[in-house]
Amino acid sequence: MSLKKDRASNTSPLTFTDVFVPVENLVGGVPGQGLKQANSVFGYTRLMVAAMAIGAGEAALSIAIPYAKDRIQFGSPLSEKQGYTHKLIVPHIVRFEAASSYLDEVALRIDAGDTDLQVEGAIAKLFASETANRAAEDAIQALGGYGYITEFGVEKIKRDVRITCIYEGTSEILQNIIGMFRWKKTWKTKGAFYRSIAEEMTALHQKNDQAGCQYYGLAAEALNRTILLAHENRLTRSQHVMFCLADMMTHVEIGASLGRKAADLGSSRDPQIQKVQAAARIFAAEVAQLVYQNMLKILLGNGMFTSETFSGFLESISCRQLPFACANTVQDMDRICELVFENKK
């Protein structure tokens, strides 16, 4: 079988030995500036990889969803079984909605001439590529044994999408970039960066209480306080802490984007608007849970607090409200299933 038919990405090694490059052929024209020049374009090149990943992941779902409608198990189609839909399909529909929303926001900023978007590009690629890789993995699981053979195509998507977690910066490199730059920006602005997101989400919740913005705001404030506390106690020297912060930062900023989109849609009986808003509420629960768990890892895991002092910290930032983001998420997942699988209640 030819490489072109078997792989969407023909990634392969390329080795240069004793190659002379004339100065007139030097990219950028100035020696020693390669990394700086590369960083200047990562904002949009990583956004392109994010778009590639979303497309691949959605392609995997486009195979798993119709399969679930036709495949009968124990007297009913898989599309009516929550063990299939709520575990293997709906979470990825939600995350792709969030990823696409963020990608669109960053793309519009690029089109408007904004060039300082290295962190945004990193966030888009990290979230989209990891989401797509998980979606392809779950699509294989969703098809059972069929998922592992070439006839259905999902195993090929999995092989092809995996590279998006590696090239243009591995996920770990992106976590380093996001954690470092957002930590410095938070400290430099004395918390204003994420505080502004929290305030924006609170205002949007007043405008539309169906978009999960209340919890995006709480998560942003919790993240903000955690970054400042980690900085003050020199926990940012730990790479594990920085990775935890990077994941919190990524989810909060992606979530805020989806919150804006869902809130701006207003109230409507339009099924697609209901789908976006249900996705925003479900993702708000995911963001709240990740922020809460990573905050525990960072602060309690490093022995900074006793249980009593940590409880006081939680009270000071209203973090005890974060678990309530999960309210009604099962019903929201049911609603997405009705729309995606055309299940009739």
pLDDT per residue as tens digits for the range 21-80? 888 888 887 888 887 787 778 888 999 999 999 999 999 999 999 999 888 788 788 988
Is residue 86 predicted with pLDDT exceeding 80?
yes
Which CATH number belongs to the domain containing residue 52 in this structure? 1.20.140.10
Residues 135 and 193 in one domain: no
Above pLDDT 90, what percent of the chain? 72
CA distance 51 to 41: 16
127 and 210 belong to one structural domain: no
Claim to verify: residue 220 and residue 132 sit in the same structural domain: no
Q: Alpha-carbon distance 82 to 67, whole Å?
A: 15
Among 169, 194, 218, identify where a domain stops.
169
Q: Identify whether 330 is part of a domain.
A: yes
Q: 284-325 pLDDT, tens per residue?
A: 999 999 999 999 999 888 887 787 888 888 888 877 889 999
Q: Is the dihedral of CA 174, 292, 225, 200 positive or negative?
A: positive
Tokens of 315: 């009270």
pLDDT recorded at residue 345: 53
Band the pLDDT of 164: cuts 50, 70, 90.
very high
Task: For residue 12, count CB atoms less than 10 angstroms from its CB and return exposed for 0-12, middle for 13-18, buried for 19 or more.
Answer: exposed
Task: Please indicate, yes or no, whether residues 92 and 206 belong to a single structural domain of this protein.
Answer: no
The answer to whether the predicted template modeling score (pTM) of the entire model surpasses 0.85 is yes
Give dist(CA 133, CA 119) in Å, integer: 21
Residue 239 CB coordination number (10 Å): 12
Instruction: Determine the structural domain holding residue 325 and report its residue range.
Output: 177-341
Does 78 map to a domain? yes
User: If you average pLDDT over every residue of the chain, what do you get?
Assistant: 91
Pair (281, 214) in one structural domain: yes
Do 316 and 215 fall within a single domain?
yes
Report the CATH number at residue 264.
1.20.140
Residue at 145 is within a domain? yes
Integer-rounded Cα radius of gyration of the chain: 22
* One domain for residues 286 and 156: no
Summarised one tens digit per residue, pLDDT across range 89-146 is: 999 999 999 999 999 999 999 999 998 899 999 999 999 999 999 999 999 999 999 9
- Cα separation of 343 and 340, whole Å? 8
* 297 and 186 in a common domain: yes
Is 326 part of any domain?
A: yes
Structural domain count, the chain: 2
In a domain, 24, yes or no: no
Do the domain assignments include residue 67?
Answer: yes
Q: Which residue has the tokens 């998507």?
A: 157
Residue 321 sits in the same domain as residue 196: yes
CB 321 within 8 A of CB 205: no
CA distances from 301 to 178, 240, 291 (A): 21, 11, 14
Contacts of 252 (CB under 8 A, 6+ apart): 194, 197, 216, 219, 220, 223, 287, 291
Alpha-carbon span 2 to 217, nearest angstrom: 51
Own/partner pairs, 296-303, CB within 8 angstroms, 24+ separation: 297/244, 298/226, 298/230, 298/235, 298/241, 298/244, 298/245, 299/226, 299/229, 299/230, 302/233, 302/235, 302/238, 302/241
138 plus 270 within the same structural domain = no
